[in-house]
Amino acid sequence: MEPQNVLWLIGGLALVAATYKLWWPFNRVSFLVRSILKVSPNRLSTLSRQFAAIDLPNIEQALRELGPGGRRFGIAAAAFMPSFVTEDLGTLLTGRRQITALRTESIQIGVGKSLACMVNGIAFIRKPVPGIVYVRRQEMFDRLEVQVAAPGPGDAEKLMEAIEHACTGKSVYKGSIISIERQRLANRQQTCLSLQFHAPPRLTEKDIILPEVTLRLIERNTVGFFQTLDAMRATGRSVKRGLLLYGRPGTGKTMTAKWISSAVPGLTTLFLSAEQLFLIKDCCQMARMLAPSMVVLEDVDLIARDRAKNEDIEGRITLNQLLNEMDGIAENAGVLFLLTSNRPDELELALAARPGRIDQAIEYPLPDPPCRRRLFERFLAGLEVEDLDIDDLVARTDGAPPAFIQELVRKALAASLLEGETKLRQAHFQEALRELLFSGGSLTRRLLGFSETLLDD
């Protein structure tokens, strides 16, 4: 065949292919609507609602419940339109847009668990009413929208209400332990909310080594709060609460929060660390939807300092957001705010001294002799010891926080292993004590609250 004729043949085939793509009606969205719902697209009523980006798994769960085995389709990109631009459902129903392979994304919904979620696709469902659901994500703005279409306005509302219910009462996040942070989107300056899931800690009440009176006070205001939640709500009393745990670093405040998160069945726990406290608005929005819930704000003094002394504009804005969100939680919400601080004297009085925001402050003391003995027993569990004088170690660590005692045992173990020993002896602890106290000099001793008599042999 002559080259010229080959070119004509290729051109002709391309024209036929383009004509098929543009004019072939049987893979258009409008044709599918007529064939599946048995109604003209022009007679459908549409309804839309914005959702948080993190609700994508909840929407997917709702679609699987409302339309099990229902037909789903992706939407082909329009010619000459950027890939990140998506059209609304009304345009898809009445235009010439065609279907394509369905796009899904794997979203983490727990520790070791993920869910394949439909993105920028349509699903045909049969209950509570026949209709169409379009999950639309505008990637440029990290915005998630659900649009529904049904024969009548009332039907569209029923369909949307069913999806909304799945995103609250049946959320995939209920009962999880989650830390919230922001992640920057690839090749853009925007950020999106990121959820990190944590396995329930293997902690029991025995692992929280505190004076009995302090432990019982914490238990009544946390575990007890959630145990009496429904009974308290029935009396018409407020079931939101704020608790401040304060004390020196390493005294066990964060460990207590982890214990509470696993001690209450079905509790959703949301952790915000110091550098993520500006996300308090997003966190409280989740807490309201996932109640009963606990919001743990660690090292809150980093943003909640006395406003008269705080010259950081961003910190002031975050503090105002925190105050507004704590006030904005409904009285019957079932949300507990658990704040931790190493410097309670620097906290803003509007936060720390106002009932309704902080209802109870609990000091974490340095461990007394009985508590220090229990700490040594816990950290030595599973290790072989010989000629070890626990009474001497308890006396020598007067004024030490639990974190120091844990590090002391670790250093003593390291010293024994370096010597090729299989058992911990008093000499190993003596060496570890000297290393910890002398290497840091007087500053370490002052920070840890030690007296000079502890340096004696």
| Mean pLDDT (10-residue bins), the chain, 457 residues | 60 55 59 82 87 90 86 75 64 77 91 92 87 84 85 86 83 92 53 82 90 94 92 86 89 92 93 81 88 91 66 70 79 88 78 72 92 94 90 90 90 91 90 78 55 44
Cα–Cα dist 242/244, whole Å = 7
Q: What is the DSSP string of 46-80?
A: EEEEEE-GGGHHHHHHHHHHHSTT--EEEEPPPTT
Following CA atoms 255, 257, 262, 268 in sequence, which dihedral angle do they give, to the nearest 10 degrees?
-150
Architecture of the domain delimited by 205-364: 3-Layer(aba) Sandwich (3.40)
Residue 357's pLDDT is 79
Specify the amino acid at residue 329: I
Q: Where in the chain is the domain with CATH 1.10.8.60?
A: 369-455
Determine the pLDDT at residue 68. Answer: 82
* Structural contact between residues 385 and 412, judged by C-beta atoms closer than 8 angstroms: no
Angle made by CA atoms 224, 230, 236, in degrees to the nearest 5:
110
User: Which residues are CB-neighbours of 27 under 8 A, at least 6 positions away?
Assistant: 98, 99
- pLDDT for res 26: 52
pLDDT for residue 187 = 43
Cβ burial, residue 16 (10 Å; 0-12/13-18/19+) = exposed
Q: Dihedral, CA atoms, 150, 154, 158, 164, nearest 10 degrees?
A: 90
CA 30 – CA 38 distance, rounded (Å): 11
Tell me the CA distances in angstroms from 142 to 18, 85, 148, 173, 227, one per residue in order. Answer: 33, 12, 20, 20, 38
Tell me, what's the pLDDT at 263? 92
pLDDT for the residue numbered 376: 95
Cα 59 from Cα 74, distance rounded (Å):
16
CA-CA distances (angstroms) from residue 413 to 88, 211, 236, 422?
A: 65, 28, 55, 9
pLDDT of residue 457: 41
Residue type, 157: E
Domain with CATH 3.40.50.300 in the chain: 205-364
Q: Which two tokens stand for residue 216?
A: 């019982």
Q: How far apart are CA 227 and CA 220, in angstroms?
A: 9
The architecture (CATH level 2) of 369-455 comes to Orthogonal Bundle (1.10)
